[in-house]
């Protein structure tokens, strides 16, 4: 009878659907490969079972035969020894009786007592004897032997009783013959029992040998079976474990050598297969991040290269503006315009110096740092985004903040990362957008908090927020900012953490240990440990004059050289100009070649300031000690092969003309003090 499934009741359709789903799940489970852990566990259990079955089988099989061999042996030996002892005693008693019967004299009373003792000892079986442990086939001959011994003992007892009566020698020969017959029967029964016991022992020994042969055969078969299983096991381990691990190791070695294109084949969906997938994903992320970092590094190098070219026109603009402002004949509207030009040039120069400081890779330099200054520097770098994104900045910087020990540039990088993340988060919400930065001291800790009123960090992102390459910015982010920032904080014995604020924006707190207080007795500076003087906030007007000083300005940019020469000439100096190091050497070699101060740009065509300084050190050391340097990018001082240039002699472009005058005067005073000290 056929049934249309479409006409089944609802309950029947549900049953059919459940059965179908279960069959489908079973089919899917059958298609899925067994996990590596399960495979290794099964192999371990199989190896353990294989290794355990053989000794267990050998124990059971050999034990049965061994127990059969030893079963009843001790009881048989004990019974035979007891019967032999009793029979030997009766033989001795029979020999004494025979002597008394054959003697013509009456036996002595002590002789009969001795015979009775032998008979009594032979008649009493040993204690602890038992026939229960004796095999049934041996019980009958052993029982007959014991009966025969007992009859001999009874016959001897009767003979001794007759000998006690006088004249009882009648029939003595007949009794002696009967006694000999009983003794012979007992000996025969014991011999038969011994032979039966030996046959039983030989049979059981043969059974043990047969079992040993069977055990040897089974052991060889079992070992051969195990040997046949070695090849599949080796193949399975090689395919599931050995080869994937070797490929993964080779991939890791290639990555360690710098090849981020390395990939490993995914052999399955087990643990090693997933590990290979993770490895390939990791190398892909590393490759993408390396490309991004390469672009960032190239951008940093490009910025560093452009800095010199940008700083030169900035300095020219600022210098022309300063010279124009110093002109008393300049009308007030034009003076206001020049002041605005000067302010904007200084602003651009400050921003450019901050960018250079941020992107340049430098050696870690631990000093005493005020985190308020670090925060201000970081805010300057990102301040252009505040107005652009309509962000209101607030907070309080503790004026009594104590110093910390750390690398100021690295710490600035941490604050810039936090500010940039906050700005990116604020751009995702509508105004009002608020960003708050606070600094404070609490005990031995100095803290900085960066807080925003955006949506906060997603809950699923919080556990991996500080891991490498974890980002919510997709392709726009590297996922390294917070990770590197926390590493920098921890290198300074501090930390960076996200404070939990459910329903509010993110709040990141950086804390560092306060630096030990400086002792008042310590000198401000020593000859053995020079310190670079910080740039003053307000440049005081110099007290002394440049009158009479001979200054040689060496710069390939005429727009930079001329304003400086004009200003220094107005201040009383005698100024010469050279457009590169080679021309400067020619001027110094000519008439009046001595210069009190040489102001040279570090980067120039033909011969830069570093090459000029090195040449003077080799040929005219006195002039080399009079060189001051101008540079839009001081990082080139650390380039391999360059002659070390004292940092305190480097003026970073664009330098204000008043600052240039002050530094020249300080430089001259320092040389005069050195000369006086040497005298």
pLDDT-above-90 percentage for the chain: 10
**Would you say 272 and 248 are in contact if contact means Cβ atoms under 8 Å apart?**
yes
Q: Which residues contact 367 (CB under 8 A, 6 or more apart)?
A: 405, 406, 407, 408
pLDDT band at 38, cuts 50/70/90?
Answer: confident
Give CA–CA dist 360/352, Å, rounded: 12
Mean pLDDT of all residues in 489-507:
86
Tens digit of each residue's pLDDT (9 = 90 or more) over 448-464: 999 999 888 888 788 77
- Render pLDDT for 524-547 as a digit per residue (tens, 0 to 9): 333 333 333 333 333 334 435 788
Contact predicate 588/552, CB 8 Å: yes
Tell me the pLDDT tens digit for each residue of 606-647.
888 888 888 988 888 888 888 998 877 655 555 555 556 677
So where are the chain's domains?
Answer: 1-32, 70-230, 365-513, 550-678
- Mean pLDDT, the chain, as a whole number? 77
Phi and psi dihedrals of 498, rounded to 5? -100, 125
Number of neighbouring beta carbons within 10 Å of residue 580: 20
Q: What is the mean pLDDT of residues 46-53?
A: 82
Tell whether the model's pLDDT for residue 167 goes beyond 70.
no
> Looking at 111-125, 316-330, 612-626, which range is the least confident one?
111-125
For residue 3, the model assigns a pLDDT of 45
Mean pLDDT on 121-141: 73
Q: Is the per-residue pLDDT at 447 higher than 70?
A: yes
Pairing of strands 574-578, 404-406: unpaired
- Provide the CATH topology of domain 550-678: Rossmann fold (3.40.50)
**pLDDT given for residue 528 in this prediction:** 31
- Check the CA dihedral 367-371-377-382 and report its sign: positive
pLDDT for 677 equals 55
Nearest to 225 by CA among 44, 63, 51, 57: 51
Q: What pLDDT does residue 534 have?
A: 37
CB count in 10 Å sphere of residue 56: 9
**What does the block give as tokens for 517?**
């207080």
CA torsion angle for 81, 85, 91, 95 (degrees, to 10)?
A: 150
pLDDT of residue 364: 65
pLDDT value at position 302? 67
pLDDT at 94 over 90: no
Q: Between the CA of residue 147 and those of 25, 124, 127, 183, 189, what are the distances in Å? A: 81, 13, 17, 11, 9
Q: How many CB atoms sit inside 10 A of residue 269's CB?
A: 12
Which CATH architecture group holds 365-513? 2-Layer Sandwich (3.30)
Question: Does 297 or 649 have the greater pLDDT score?
Answer: 649
Question: What is the reported pLDDT for 471?
Answer: 66
Higher pLDDT, 98 or 305: 98
* pLDDT at position 30: 46
Given this model, what pLDDT does residue 305 score?
Answer: 64
Question: 62-81: per-residue pLDDT in tens?
Answer: 777 677 666 667 777 777 78
Confidence (pLDDT) at 335: 82
| Section 151-157 average pLDDT | 82
Helix (H) or strand (E) holding 626: none
pLDDT at res. 542? 40
Q: Out of 26-30, 99-103, 327-331, which region has the weakest mean confidence (pLDDT)?
A: 26-30
pLDDT band at 438 (very low <50, low <70, confident <90, very high): very high
φ and ψ of 621, to 5 deg: -55, -30
User: Could you say which architecture CATH assigns to the domain 70-230?
Assistant: Up-down Bundle (1.20)
- The stretch 41-46 carries a mean pLDDT of 81
Residue 29: per-residue pLDDT: 47
Mean pLDDT of 222-251: 83
Q: Kindly give, in sequence order, each residue whose CB lies less than 8 Å from that of residue 606, ignoring residues fewer than 6 positions away.
A: 580, 581, 582
Cα–Cα distance measured from residue 601 to residue 161, given in angstroms and rounded to the nearest whole number: 151
What contacts 549, CB < 8 A, 6 or more positions away?
Answer: 572, 573, 574, 596, 597, 664, 668
Confidence of residue 138 (pLDDT cuts 50, 70, 90): confident
Which pLDDT belongs to residue 436? 93
Mean per-residue pLDDT, 333-356: 78
- 617 vs 123, more confident: 617
**Arithmetic mean of pLDDT, 240-263:** 82
């Amino acid at each position: 009878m056929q049934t249309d499934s479409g006409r089944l009741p609802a309950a029947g359709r549900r049953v059919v659907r459940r059965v179908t789903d279960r069959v489908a799940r079973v089919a899917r489970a059958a298609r899925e490969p067994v996990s590596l852990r399960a495979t290794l566990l099964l192999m371990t259990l199989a190896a353990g079972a294989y290794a355990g079955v053989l000794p267990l089988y050998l124990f059971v099989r050999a034990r049965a035969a061994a127990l059969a061999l030893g079963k009843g042996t001790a009881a048989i030996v004990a019974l035979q020894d007891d019967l032999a002892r009793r029979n030997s005693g009766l033989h001795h008693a029979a020999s004494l009786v025979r002597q008394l019967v054959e003697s013509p004299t009456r036996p002595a009373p002590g002789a009969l007592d001795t015979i009775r003792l032998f008979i009594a000892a032979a008649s009493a079986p040993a204690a602890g004897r038992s026939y229960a442990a004796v095999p049934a086939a041996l019980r009958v001959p052993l029982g007959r032997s014991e009966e025969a011994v007992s009859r001999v003992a009874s016959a001897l007892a009767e003979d001794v009783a007759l000998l006690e009566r006088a004249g009882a020698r009648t029939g003595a020969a007949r009794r002696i013959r009967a006694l000999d017959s009983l003794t012979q029967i007992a000996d025969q029964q014991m011999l038969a029992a011994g032979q039966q016991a030996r046959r039983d022992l030989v049979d059981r020994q043969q059974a043990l040998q047969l079992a040993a042969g069977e055990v040897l055969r089974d052991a060889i078969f079992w070992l051969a079976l195990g040997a046949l299983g070695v090849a599949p096991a080796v193949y399975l381990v090689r395919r599931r474990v050995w080869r994937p691990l070797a490929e993964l190791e080779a991939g890791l070695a290639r990555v360690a050598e710098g090849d981020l294109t390395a990939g490993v084949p995914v052999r399955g969906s087990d643990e090693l297969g997933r590990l290979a997938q993770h490895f390939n994903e990791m190398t892909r992320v590393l490759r993408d991040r390396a490309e991004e970092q390469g672009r960032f590094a190239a951008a940093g190098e490009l910025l560093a290269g452009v800095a010199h070219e940008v700083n030169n026109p900035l300095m020219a603009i600022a210098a022309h503006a300063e010279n124009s402002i110093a002109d008393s004949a300049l009308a007030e509207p034009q003076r206001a315009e020049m002041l605005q030009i000067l302010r904007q040039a200084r602003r651009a120069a400050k921003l450019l110096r901050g960018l250079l400081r941020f992107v340049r890779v430098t050696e870690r330099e631990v000093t005493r740092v005020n985190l308020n200054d670090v925060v201000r520097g970081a805010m300057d770098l990102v301040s252009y985004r505040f107005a652009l994104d309509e962000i209101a900045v607030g907070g309080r910087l503790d004026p009594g903040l104590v110093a910390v020990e750390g690398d100021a540039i690295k710490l600035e990088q941490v604050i810039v990362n936090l500010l940039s993340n906050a700005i990116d988060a604020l751009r995702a919400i509508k105004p009002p957008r608020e960003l708050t930065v606070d600094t404070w001291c609490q005990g031995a800790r100095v803290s900085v908090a960066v807080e925003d009123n955006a949506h906060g960090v997603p809950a699923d992102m919080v556990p991996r927020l500080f891991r490498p390459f974890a980002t919510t910015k997709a392709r726009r982010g590297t996922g390294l900012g917070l990770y590197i920032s926390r590493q920098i904080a921890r290198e300074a014995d501090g930390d960076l953490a996200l404070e939990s604020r459910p329903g509010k924006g993110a709040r990141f707190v950086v804390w560092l240990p306060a630096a030990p207080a400086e002792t008042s007795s310590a000198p401000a500076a020593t000859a053995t440990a020079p310190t670079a003087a910080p740039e003053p906030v307000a440049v005081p007007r110099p007290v002394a004059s440049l009158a009479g000083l001979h200054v040689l300005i060496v710069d390939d940019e005429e727009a930079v050289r001329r304003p400086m020469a004009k200003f220094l000439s107005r201040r009383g100096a005698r100024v010469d100009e050279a457009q590169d190091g080679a021309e400067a050497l020619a001027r110094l070699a000519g008439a009046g070649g001595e210069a009190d101060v040489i102001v040279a740009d570090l980067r120039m065509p033909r011969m830069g300031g570093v090459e000029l300084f090195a040449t003077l050190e080799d040929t005219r050391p006195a002039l080399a000690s009079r060189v001051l340097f101008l540079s839009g990018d001081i990082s080139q001082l650390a380039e391999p092969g360059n002659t070390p240039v004292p940092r305190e002699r480097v003026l970073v472009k664009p330098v204000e003309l008043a600052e240039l005058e002050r530094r020249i005067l300080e430089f001259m005073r320092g040389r005069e003090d050195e000369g006086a000290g040497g005298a």
